[in-house]
Amino acid sequence: MNLAPYIDHTVLKPVTLTADINKLCTEAVQYGFAAVCVPPPFVKLAAGLLKDSNVKTATVIGFPFGYSAIEAKIAEALLAMVDGAGELDVVINLIALKNNDWQYLANEINHLVPVIKSRGKVVKIIVESGVLTDDELKKCCELYGAAGIDYLKTSTGYAEKGATPEAVKLMRENLPPHVQIKASGGIKTYAFAKELVDAGATRLGCSASVAIIEGTPAGSGY
């Protein structure tokens, strides 16, 4: 099974260099990855490098902790789209979730989705499944599944636990069929990546993308 079309080739480290983005985009085109996912300051560069390819440009919003104000997330999203992002991976406010403030989360998503979808862009919502209970994850599926998003995404890669097949299966069982799943966080091998796809993921966020495809040892990272 060729996993390359499932992969968002990712670099999100806080010390990312221009050279990292150049390499990321070159590899994404070479291997036929679905997208690159880059820090917001590099969206314009990545979009320019990929303009003559089929590889999409993605970035993150409210990353990695999700507790930015709604207004700040909207501003981030608008700038990212102006710079050329076609896909936005938005971290939810986990503080609100853990304090059982689902009204805040509903308000947040109901402000963000129209801004992004009105410009024809893809919305991926990151819920950090590794720090959620099964009930919390199910509630996320209910709330975000009805909110007009394109993907529900497991993880930022910055929590103590990333993607698991169990979380992906739970999400697939509780999401509407039209909402896809992106698994991310700790994906280092072809075998694990395929396990996540078999569980229901249709995108994979990986920094070890080339190692996964080539079957070589992966380094540390997202």
Domains of the chain, each with CATH number or no CATH:
4-214 (3.20.20.70)
pLDDT-derived band of residue 216, with 50, 70 and 90 as boundaries?
confident
E-state strands within the chain: 7-10, 35-38, 56-61, 87-91, 122-126, 151-153, 180-184, 203-206
For residue 188, pLDDT over 70 is answered with yes
Identify whether the C-beta of residue 141 lies closer than 8 Å to the C-beta of residue 172: no
For residue 210, pLDDT over 60 is answered with yes
Distance CA(137)–CA(142), nearest Å, equals 9
Tokens of 200: 């229901």
Distance CA(112)–CA(149), nearest Å, equals 10
Q: Looking at residue 205, what is its pLDDT?
A: 98
**Which one-letter amino acid corresponds to residue 176?**
P
Q: What is the mean pLDDT of the chain?
A: 96
Within a 13 Å sphere around the CA of 21, how many CA atoms are in the beta-carbon half? 23
Collapse the DSSP code of 66 into the 3-class scheme (helix H, G, I; strand E, B; otherwise coil) and give the result: coil
Average pLDDT over residues 45-49: 98
Q: What is the pTM of this model?
A: 0.96
Residues tagged active-site: 89, 153, 182
